[in-house]
Structure 1
């Protein structure tokens, strides 16, 4: 029986029972560990954090993952555009990753939230909500971002299901549907150019006065992309599936799906407390090796990249793990 057949019959729990190695020491979380000092602490145990942990575990680095178990895409029904896992559920990918990392005994998992951090003589010290204190030479923030939902009734219930952020992650599944783009200006124009290849029924809802250059307006008109400047009051849906957009003036229009560009904030304040610089867009500033502006502090995944996808999160985590291992090697060899 294949992995997907198991999940279809028994769910993710059935998959875990069928995996060749139990998750007893890893996925069940070992919060009573006596060990408090590590070479690396990874804050955030979703795709980027787990990818970093795999690189470090394979190099026998004593690593601690601190994670609350609440990834930002937990409402999304399926993940796409990631080789070998296209169409898998987010939790399915995560649990398989944890099961594979569990065999690397140098990697430990702690269920909780890191609330503060400071530099100490030998590296850094991290304190959790439970008052536990851990230290490490290197820190990795794989904490993701927190989407700030607009004051639109029904929006949050549809987010990640039928109101989405990325045509690469979701566009194929909602192709050829009547589509709204809830954005304005350059972001709306960029989304429209990408989505135009996926559907010919596109309406940009600017929620206020449109903000486009003259050449952009001409291009949108050329492709029959409508612009609506009305404010949205509600999204009517069934179990997260968009059916109708209700405007504040009382008018409505039926749609099957929507793309939206919404603001975000960092999930963790610790990077900023440690002095990590942010970009003008609010991401943690990193270089091509995932190094932040603070020595020995790394960031990977959605918190440090505009390219928000599982595949890129995994890639950035793999890079950060390899670079950290190399630095530890050079320091100790």
Structure 2
């Protein structure tokens, strides 16, 4: 099959993981289509960190440069649309977009990321990725020695507190209800002067996403500079599930050591497969996925 809408590989998601996979495939002369809706999950984050050669750069600038470099490979095409449906075919797969276009490919790569589910707290969404943050490696250095809160409970809160403790000595855990720590955890938290607040958070006072104070439902208010938050998420699209890709207990796309999903011919990379969310990690897994897909195509064709 050789038509304008037929490709060897379709990559759904054109952010860091998808572009990295596309570069590996482009350098192997694989006819590849990248379908991207243009809504990366870190679009509100002002700067990206912990990525060698790009530390402190704007995420949008990194993505813009990445796309420009991938566009230099003639075998890679781009479509700025939302992929809405897909099915298995005798050729491989068919993907349909919001405008009704249909495309065929032998292999699929999902680099679609995840969608964070914001809690019903005034100001939370506006601060997400700016001063309400998720990862000490991505954001912690910028808030070192600052007054810091952690919105989590139990093992997750304990883990975050232990990680953040190396960055600041002023830590308060907001359990949003009854604290759920073991006696041993409570002892360590007390030893490290980590405070615990069980009152529920009602509002984040901020200016353009930079928080200044947290308001609680009981009427109290405390000043903070940063808030780590562990919030739920869902897959950015239901297409992997429709095509038979299994999810893990935590909600990530289940993959093996070679980025294969449970559905033959479908691969996944980036934030949709791992709790370790960073630009560097997305680029790394995307690059590996492109190589694994090329290897599979080579074995089938040679």
Q: Unaligned 5+ residue runs, structure 2?
A: none
RMSD across aligned positions (CA): 0.6
Aligned with 1:79 (options 40, 48, 54): 48
2:257 aligned with 1:304, yes or no?
A: no
* Cα deviation, residue 113, structure 1: 0.5
Aligned twin of 1:35: 4
Deviations 1:232-254 (A, max 9, x none): 11000011001000000111111
**Aligned to 2:192, which of 208, 213, 223?**
223
Q: Does 1:260 align with 2:254?
A: no
User: What's the CA shift for 1:35?
Assistant: 1.6
1:242-321 mapped onto 2 (5 Å cutoff): 242-321=211-290
Displacement of 1:288 in angstroms is: 1.3
Which runs of no fewer than 5 residues in structure 1 stay unpaired?
A: 1-33
Q: Counterparts of 2:51 and 2:113 in 1: how far apart (Å)?
A: 18
Per the alignment, residue 5 of structure 1 pairs with none
Shift of 1:184: 0.6
| Residue 239 of structure 1: aligned partner | 208
Match of 2:149 in 1: 180
Q: Distance in 2 between matches of 1:229 and 1:101?
A: 49
1:210 aligns with 2:164: no
Residue 39 of structure 1: SS of its match in structure 2?
A: strand
Following TM superposition, by how much is the alpha carbon of 1:185 offset from its aligned partner in structure 2, in angstroms?
0.7
Count how many residue pairs are aligned between Structure 1 and Structure 2: 300
Deviations along 1:98-144, one digit per CA (max 9) or x if unpaired, are: 11111100000001000011000010000000000001000000000
Divergent runs of 4+, >3 A: none
Compute the displacement of 1:70 (Å).
1.0
Q: 1:275: Cα distance to partner?
A: 1.0
Q: 1:89 matched to which residue of 2?
A: 58
TM-score (norm 2): 0.99
C-alpha deviations, 1:25-81, integer Å up to 9, x for none?
A: xxxxxxxxx820000000000000000000000000000000011101000000000
Aligned match of 2:77? 108
**TM-score in terms of structure 1 length:** 0.90
Paired with 2:71 and 2:84, the residues of 1 have a C-alpha distance of 25
Matches within 5 A, 1:132-151: 132-151=101-120
Identify the match of residue 27 of structure 2 among 55, 58, 66: 58
